[in-house]
Amino acid sequence: MRLGKEQAVGYVEDTGYEEGTGRVEGTGRVEGTMADSPPVREPAIGAADGMPPAAADEPSLTVS
Amino acid sequence: MTRLSPWSSGPAKGEHPDRPFTGYKLAHAVLSADGATAGFAGLTLGATNVYGTVGDACCVWNRRHAPPRRWCGCGFYCLHDLADARSLACATENRSALLLEVTASGRYIRYERGLRYSRQRVRAILDAQCACGRAGPALADAGSGLIGWRHLAPVCDACTAGRPALTLGEFTARLDGTVRVTTQPAGTPLAPSARKTPGARDLPVSAGEPPLAVLAAEIALLHARLDDLQSRLDK
C-alpha cells in the first residue's frame, strides 16, 4: 500500500475544532490546491524501515 | 501556536486550510515501567519514539531539519480513509497495533491517500483486536518493549486468562490528554462462529459429569470388585 503521489504541501493550525462526531472537517483532500512542484516518488507504506535518509523518500506509513 | 519556519525544500506557496485534518493510523500502546504513564509508539521507523496525546514529530535521521521534509521519510503519517488504515492493520506485524483517529496539523505534505505532517493530536482509539480475532477491550504485556516502556497488546476477556491487564479506559486515563475509546465490532468482518456446541442428546451419559468425578466413580467400582474377589479367595 502506498500513500500515492504528492499533491500539495501546506501548513494548518490545530484549531481544536471537532464536530459532534469527533471528525474534523477537512479529510485530507483539499480542493483545487494541487502542488505547483514537480511530482515526486510515492511514499510507500511500511517500505522504508531501516532505510538510510538518502532512500527515505519512500518512507513507511508507520513512522511515529 | 508559533508558526514554523519556512520550508526550505518545498514550494514557496502552500495550502493553508482553516481546519486541521482527520486521519487514521496504527500505533502500539506502551506503558511506562512504573505503570503510571501511557503512550503510543510507531511501528517501524518511529518504533523507538514514544508520543502522547499531542506530539511533535522529530526526524530520526537528522534532527537538524524539521519534519516532514520532502526527501526524508520523517514526520507523522496518517491515512485519509479508515478503510485503508484497517487494511494496513491486517498485516501480520500490525495485528497488535491500535487503530487511532488523529488530528494532523502543522507543516504537512499531502498525498493521494494520506499525510506526512509535523504535529499530531490523538483523538480516539477506534480498533483494538485480540490476536484470537475477538475485540480486545483490555491491554496486556506484549512481551516486548523499549527502555522504560512496555509494549501492550489488545486482549479479549477469554485470552486475558488471569494475566494482568489494563482496560482501554484505564489506559487512556494514563495518557497526557483526553482520548476517546470507540472500538467497534466492525473492526473485523469475521462473525462469531456459527458452530453450535453439541446438544445434550449427542453427548454420552456421563458427559454432564466432571471428568474427575467419573474417574473417581470408576476407581470406587474397581475397588469394590477387588474386595469382592479377595473375599471369595479367602473363602
Ordered mean pLDDT values, 10 residues apiece, chain B (235 residues):
44 79 97 98 88 93 89 93 95 96 96 96 96 94 96 95 94 97 71 58 50 68 79 80
Scanning B98-127 for CB atoms below 8 A from A yields 101, 103-116, 119-121, 123-124
For residue B110, list its beta bridge partners: A8, B115
Q: Determine the pLDDT at residue B222.
A: 79
B55 contacts in chain A (CB < 8 Å): 64
Q: For chain A, first and last CA: distance in Å?
A: 18
Question: Are residues B135 and B227 located together in one domain of the fold?
Answer: no
| Any B CB within 8 A of A21 CB | no
Model ipTM over 0.90: no
Whether B75 and chain A come into contact, CB under 8 Å, resolves to yes
B109 lies in some domain: yes
- Do residues B47 and B107 share a domain? yes
Q: Are residues B115 and B142 located together in one domain of the fold?
A: yes
Count structural domains, chain B. Answer: 2
- pLDDT for A16: 78
C-alpha closest to that of B137 among B165, B164, B156: B156
pLDDT of residue A42: 61
Within 150-189 of B, beta carbons closer than 8 Å to A belong to 180, 182
Residue B30 lies in a domain: yes
Query: What per-residue confidence (pLDDT) applies to A61?
Result: 53
Enumerate residues 6+ apart whose C-beta is below 8 A from B99. B24, B25, B26, B82, B85, B86, B89, B125, B126, B127, B128, B187
B6 and chain A in contact, CB less than 8 A: no
B45 within a domain of the structure (yes/no): yes
Q: Is B208 part of a structural domain of the chain?
A: yes
Q: How far apart are CA B89 and CA B87, in angstroms?
A: 5
The pLDDT of residue A28 is above 60? no
Let me know if residue B79 belongs to a domain. yes
pLDDT of amino acid B185:
61
Give the range among A14-28, A35-49, B51-65, B188-202 with minimum mean pLDDT: A35-49
Q: Look at residue B229 in the predicted model and tell me its pLDDT.
A: 82
Same domain, B125 and B211: no
Distance CA B16, CA A4 (A): 21
- pLDDT over 90 for what percent of chain A? 17
**B33 and B78 share a domain?**
yes
With CB atoms and an 8 Å threshold, state whether B76 touches A64.
yes
Structural domain includes residue B57:
yes
Domain of B208, in residue numbers: 200-234
Q: Are A61 and A45 in contact (CB under 8 A)?
A: yes
Classify B118 in phi/psi space as left (phi over 0), alpha (psi -120 to 50) or beta.
Answer: alpha
Residues B49 and B144 both lie in one domain: yes
List of chain A residues whose C-beta atoms are within 8 Å of the C-beta of residue B113: 1-4
Residue A20 in contact with partner chain B when CB distance is under 8 A: no
Whether A34 has its CB under 8 Å from any CB of chain B: the answer is no
Structural domain contains residue B195: no
Please name the member of A10, A37, A56 whose beta carbon is closest to the beta carbon of B61: A56
Would the CB atoms of A53 and B45 count as touching at under 8 Å? Answer: no
Chain centre to alpha carbon of residue B25: 12
Q: Are residues B136 and B210 in the same domain?
A: no
Mark whether B177 and B204 lie in a shared domain.
no
Residues B70 and B121 both lie in one domain: yes
Return the C-alpha cell found at B187: 473492526
Percent of chain A residues past pLDDT 70, beyond the cut: 23
From the CA of A27, how many Å to the nearest CA of chain B? 5
B112, B227: one domain? no
Q: In the block, which residue shows the cell 472537517? A: A25
Same domain for B155 and B93: yes
CA-CA distance, B87 to B113, in Å (whole number)? 13
DSSP H or E run through B145 = strand B138-146
Cis peptide before B68 (omega within 30 of 0): yes
Residues of B in contact with A18 (CB under 8 A): 103, 123
Give A-chain residues touching B44 at CB under 8 angstroms. 46, 48-50, 60, 62-63
The residue among B2, B8, B22, B59 with the most chain A CBs within 10 A of its CB, best to mutate, is B22
Residue B107 resides in a domain: yes
The C-alpha atoms of residue B127 and residue B188 are separated, in whole angstroms, by 9
**Do B60 and B92 belong together in one domain?**
yes
